[in-house]
Structure 1
Amino acid sequence: MATASATIDIPVPADQVWQLIGGFGSLPDWLSFVVKSELSEGGRLRTLRTEDGTVIVERLESFDNGSKTYSYSITQAPFPVTDYLATLRVEAHGDGARVTWSGRFTPNGVSDEEAQELFSGIYQGGLTALRSNFPG
């Protein structure tokens, strides 16, 4: 099992960041390369479409609005991993917020390092995109 993680600090209250990213269908609101998110199964399954037409299907595994965190698994994606579980978390940090996106997975056909590099890049790129929604 391999892991990857990225963290970013954002100079606005955690509640404000969570309001933008806390909805399971909200990825297109803050992640520009995800152009569409359709929820099904009562909001527990999201089907994402990226700019290049890639389809990714993810299942909400846990959600805690009070703790500002949710975890999800991938049911369909072109990634070289299995047993994927990721968590997105927003925490108060000083006067602002700290956002952590992390995951664990089993590489499939690639090394641990290659899989870790792939998801570290996705998480860091996503958090950088998130940060751009909050000027200042």
Structure 2
Amino acid sequence: MLKTVTISKTMSIPTETVWSAIAGIGGLERWFPVISDCRVIGNGVGATRILTLVAGGEMTDRIELIDDGNRRFQYNRIESPFPVSHYLGTVTVGEAVDGGSMLEWVVDIEAEAISDGVAGLERDLLTSAVSRSASEAL
């Protein structure tokens, strides 16, 4: 069953600073407390990033889109220790009214016998990443 998890967050950080961090592909260990290391192989679209989990295991993402004009980034999780058969993440960075930025993160996820627990885990991971102190992470 395909589920969509959406997280939105307004931050007081300038849009270009946030976009630069997202489009830079790496550094996810600064945002996700469950990731201990992020290695990037290649550059731009087609690059892969390997995420090492604190609890053990790795996830691999393939970068599908980096659209500087629309500040839109998309990746496909091609390997995961979780029972996920489809995972497509899209991050969009926009300008907030106060001069800060608005970040929207959408994950389309499908897993064998997906449960609210699996979707909830993804939501919790995304929320913790977006909610971390952006000034420290960026």
1-side partners of 2:4 and 2:40: how far apart?
A: 27
Unmatched tracts of structure 1, length 5 or more: none
Q: Deviations over 1:5-52 (max 9, x none)?
A: 111110121111112232112313433432222122445111111222
Aligned-residue identity in percent: 23
Q: Which residue pairs with 1:70 in the alignment?
A: 73
Write out aligned runs for 1:94-105 (5 A): 94=97, 95-105=99-109
> CA separation of 1:68/1:15 partners in 2, compared to 1, >3 Å: closer, same or farther?
same
Deviation at 1:85, TM superposition (A): 0.5
Write out aligned runs for 1:53-92 (5 A): 53-92=56-95
C-alpha contact (below 8 Å) 2:90/2:105 kept by paired residues: yes
Instruction: Point out 4+ residue stretches in structure 1 off by more than 6 angstroms.
Output: none
2-side partners of 1:18 and 1:49: how far apart?
A: 23
Normalised by the length of structure 1, the TM-score is 0.85
Q: Which residue pairs with 1:7 in the alignment?
A: 8
1-side partners of 2:113 and 2:83: how far apart?
A: 6
| Residues 11-20 or 38-47, more deviating | 38-47
Q: Which residue pairs with 1:133 in the alignment?
A: 134
Q: Which residue pairs with 1:49 in the alignment?
A: 52
2-side partners of 1:80 and 1:38: how far apart?
A: 22
> CA separation of 1:90/1:53 partners in 2, compared to 1, >3 Å: closer, same or farther?
same
Unmatched tracts of structure 2, length 5 or more: none
Q: Which residue pairs with 1:118 in the alignment?
A: 121
Count of residue pairs brought into register by the alignment: 132
2-side partners of 1:78 and 1:102: how far apart?
A: 20
C-alpha contact (below 8 Å) 1:20/1:29 kept by paired residues: no
Q: Which residue pairs with 1:31 in the alignment?
A: 32
2-side partners of 1:48 and 1:124: how far apart?
A: 18
2-side partners of 1:10 and 1:121: how far apart?
A: 18
2-side partners of 1:120 and 1:103: how far apart?
A: 9
C-alpha contact (below 8 Å) 1:89/1:101 kept by paired residues: yes
